[in-house]
Chain A
Amino acid sequence: EAGVVQSPRYKIIEKKQPVAFWCNPISGHNTLYWYRQNLGQGPELLIRYENEEAVDDSQLPKDRFSAERLKGVDSTLKIQPAELGDSAVYLCASSLVGDEQYFGPGTRLTVT
């Protein structure tokens, strides 16, 4: 079992450029989470999906961030345009409903 897969692992972009992150959850997990982890902080939830429905996106900065989970499996998180303050590690996690969350390795984004 590969676990939660994320790509890319690292991304460096200039400010105002767009960027996208991809996540493939553990097979059969219907709940998917995107977290952002700033340096020296714990992860903070951006959005949670139950199948293809976003059930909690209250912490997603909707002016520049968007996410989708087509067919209730893979998910993509996009930032457009990126700002310097978006530099962080973006974590994807998946779970069965109400069960343990399994985290991916994360994508480290650096905005210059």
Chain B
Amino acid sequence: AQRVTQPEKLLSVFKGAPVELKCNYSYSGSPELFWYVQYSRQRLQLLLRHISRESIKGFTADLNKGETSFHLKKPFAQEEDSAMYYCALERADKLIFGTGTRLQVFP
């Protein structure tokens, strides 16, 4: 069965520290993976998708098929990065979300 696992419910770092939000998936096939973000009092929005291979707001994510991972990274966290982050797998136009990781960036 397809599944997305985000092992950390909460990740706390200080401003300027590196950030890595972990995401592992199980899927028999070529996955399409996404990171969604929800800032406080805002709606869920797409942050990035693996096929675009672009950096958004300084975040990058590399698909590692050998480790079945799609970790989200940023070298220097900012206070405005504090939010809820969800990893998602797309199968047949259906998104399967992980349980999310709350990132807190302290000044």
A residues with a Cβ closer than 8 A to B are: 3-4, 31, 40-45, 48, 56, 91, 97-98, 100-106
Chain A's interface: helix, strand, loop or mixed, by majority?
loop
Given contacts A42-B86, A56-B92, contact A104 B97 (CB under 8 A): no
- Write the chain A residue with the least CB distance to B100: A42
Given contacts A42-B88, A42-B99, contact A103 B94 (CB under 8 A): no
Interface size on B, as a range, is: 10 to 19
- Write the chain B residue with the least CB distance to A100: B46
On whether the beta carbons of A43 and B43 are closer than 8 Å, the reply is no
User: Cα distance A60–B39 when bound, in Å?
Assistant: 28
Give chain A nearest CB distance to B49 CB in angstroms: 8
Give chain A nearest CB distance to B99 CB in angstroms: 5
On whether the beta carbons of B86 and A104 are closer than 8 Å, the reply is no
On whether the beta carbons of B43 and A45 are closer than 8 Å, the reply is no
